[in-house]
Amino acid sequence: MIRSAVTVSIVEQARKGPFVFHEDVEGACRLASELGYDAVELFAPSGDAIRSLPIKNLLSSFNLKLAAVGTGAGMVIHQLALSSPDADRRTKAREFVKSIIAAGAEFGAPAIIGSMQGRWDEAAGKEAGVQLLRDALDELGSYAATCGVPLIYEPLNRYETNMAMTMEQGIELLKPLSCGNIKLLADLFHMNIEERNIADALRDSGNWIGHVHFVDSNRQAAGRGHMDYTPIAVALHNIGYSGYASAEAFPIPDSTEAARQTIETFRRIFR
Burial (CB < 10 A; 0-12, 13-18, 19+), residue 242, is exposed
Residue 67 interacting with ligand LER (CB under 6 A): no
Minimum CB separation of residue 52 from ligand LER in Å reads 21
Pick the piece of the chain touching ligand LER (CB under 6 A) from 44-52, 60-68, 130-138, 153-161.
153-161
Number of residue whose CB is nearest ligand LER:
114
Helices (H), 121-166: 126-147
Rounded to 5°, the CA angle 221-190-17 comes to: 55
What residues numbered 178-197 form the site for ligand LER, per CB under 6 A?
187
Residue 119 interacting with ligand LER (CB under 6 A): no
Residue 230 or 246 with smaller CB distance to ligand LER = 246
> Distance between CA atoms of 19 and 221, rounded to whole angstroms?
10
Minimum CB separation of residue 115 from ligand LER in Å reads 4
Asked, as a colleague might, if the bond just before 155 is cis with ω within 30 of 0, I would say: no
# chain residues binding ligand LER, by CB under 6 A = 10
> Distance between CA atoms of 8 and 221, rounded to whole angstroms?
14
Between β-strands 111-113 and 244-247, what pairing exists: parallel, antiparallel or unpaired?
unpaired
**Binder of residue 195, out of Mn ion, ligand LER, none (CB less than 5 to 8 A by kind):** none
Query: How many CB atoms are closer than 10 A to CB 169?
Result: 14
CA atoms within 13 A on the CB side of 159: 4
Decide if 144 contacts 106 (C-beta within 8 A): no
Residue 72 interacting with ligand LER (CB under 6 A): yes
Distances (CA, A) of 101 to 53, 132, 215: 16, 19, 24
Indicate which single residue of 213, 214, 220, 261 sits in contact with Mn ion (rule: CB under 5 A). Answer: 213
Minimum CB separation of residue 146 from Mn ion in Å reads 26
Residue 36 or 152 with smaller CB distance to ligand LER = 152
Indicate which single residue of 114, 150, 170, 251 sits in contact with ligand LER (rule: CB under 6 A). Answer: 114
Number of residue whose CB is nearest Mn ion:
187
Binding characters for Mn ion, 246-265, by CB under 5 A (x = yes): --x-----------------
Distances (CA, A) of 248 to 77, 172, 213: 19, 25, 6
Residue 160 interacting with ligand LER (CB under 6 A): yes
Residue 133 or 156 with smaller CB distance to ligand LER = 156
Residue type, 243: G
Binding characters for Mn ion, 172-191, by CB under 5 A (x = yes): ---------------x----
Between β-strands 182-187 and 65-70, what pairing exists: parallel, antiparallel or unpaired?
unpaired
Residue 248 interacting with ligand LER (CB under 6 A): yes
Q: Which residues bind ligand LER (CB under 6 A)?
A: 70, 72, 114-115, 154, 156, 160, 187, 213, 248
